[in-house]
Structure 1
Amino acid sequence: MLIGTSLRRLNDGVDYATFRKAWLPDEAIPGDPRRVLSALSLDDPQEILTCALIDAEPADIPVWMERIAAGEQRRMDRLAGLVGPSLGGGVFRVVGDDDLSRLIRA
């Protein structure tokens, strides 16, 4: 499993509802990523983190990026005036998935 993350700062006067309306894709996206979590920082509610849970291998990324490229460009165009430059992010391979409500032995 992979996780794609993006950290952005909403421009002054832009709220999450406005961001979400522009961020949502125009059509359903088959395959991965199927689930994306969005979260606002508790310290600065203008900072938004998105995390895509991707059930794929790194070699699959170019194929699905090409497949969704046109829709992604439309979304990025809509977001252009709503967010500043990226504050960070990337694609990461999941190496641990722990339930901390149970004792875990190393």
Structure 2
Amino acid sequence: MHGILKTCADRRTLVMRGAGIAVCLTLTVAATGCRGRSLFPPAGTINQQQANAIVHDPYPLDDIGPSDLGARPPSYQQPVPEPVRNRLIPDAMPWLGR
């Protein structure tokens, strides 16, 4: 009789543990909701993407290093001149006082 009670207690413990896990999973799913957006925000309009590409130019610059004629796409053959590059951030964020 003692062995049967022990197995019933073990079963009850397993059922309670499983029920606890199920409740936690249900609450987690309910708390996250049905979020329809992806993790990252959209990239923006074409004009915003082009402005970002001009500010954050990933291609090698001719005035800093050697010229690599085939590295730039056709629409970006003329990089932004150095005086303009030096003013991009200060003009975009005048509150920094630079």
Structure richer in strand, relative to its length: 1
TM-score (norm 1): 0.19
Larger radius of gyration: 2
Structure with more contact order per residue of length (Cα contacts < 8 Å, sep ≥ 6): 1
TM-score (norm 2): 0.20
